[in-house]
Amino acid sequence: MECGLKAGVLNSTGQDSTLSGAMRHSSETTLRVRYSETDQMGVAYYGNYFAWFEVGRAELMRELGLDYRTLEREEGCYIVVADASCRYKGPARYDDLLRIRTELKAMRGPVLRFAYTVLRDEDGALLAEGETAHLVADKEMKVRSLPEKYVRALGEAMEGGGRK
């Protein structure tokens, strides 16, 4: 699905932050590859990376003082996946400890883009890189704006701020 997000993404102050080179806030979380996530050869099934991206995204939100539960229950607002991609660079194997690095790559109106890096903790090997694009929607799946509290916090993260 094409979300119409182009170069020239506006940050929380209305300035273009895509090309500014500012350091963005990133979150890093670890998880261990479970046996149930692997195939007969002990290699993680490719679809698991998208679940791991979700773990990283939820942790990034928590670090910024935000959470999906509050957004959904109190604001009636949902962040719906519209597009997802993953480029596999090497295998994750059973019992590997992985580092999932997540950052908000772009934010414009009801569109959010996140970027992910999956590294093996033991040797820092790059295992995968991915992106997801999200639309902000209400319960009826109609596009809506993100509540101001979230716009402010995510905008600060894009500018390199945010909690930690």
**Residue extents of the structural domains in the chain:** 26-158
Is the overall model pTM greater than 0.75, yes or no? yes
CB 110 within 8 A of CB 146: yes
User: pLDDT tens for residues 143-152?
Assistant: 999 999 999 9
Q: Is the pLDDT of residue 7 over 90?
A: no
Q: Quick one: pLDDT at residue 130?
A: 98
| CATH of region 26-158, choose from 1.20.1560.10, 3.40.50.300, 3.10.129.10, 3.20.20.70 | 3.10.129.10
pLDDT bin (cut points 50, 70, 90) of residue 88 is: very high
Q: Quick one: pLDDT at residue 23?
A: 59
Q: Quick one: pLDDT at residue 113?
A: 97
- Please, what is the Cα angle at 54 between 43 and 18, to 5 degrees? 115
pLDDT bin (cut points 50, 70, 90) of residue 162 is: low
Among candidate residues 156, 135, 157, the one with its CA nearest the CA of residue 146? 135
- Mean pLDDT throughout 40-69? 95
Q: Quick one: pLDDT at residue 83?
A: 98
Q: Is the pLDDT of residue 69 over 80?
A: yes
User: pLDDT tens for residues 93-120?
Assistant: 999 999 999 999 999 999 999 999 999 9
More confident residue, 108 or 24: 108
Give the mean pLDDT of the chain. Answer: 86
Q: How far apart, in Å, are the Cα atoms of 39 and each of 48, 91, 94, 119?
A: 11, 11, 9, 19
**E strand intervals along 22-61:** 26-32
Residue 157 CA, chain-centre distance (Å), reads 12
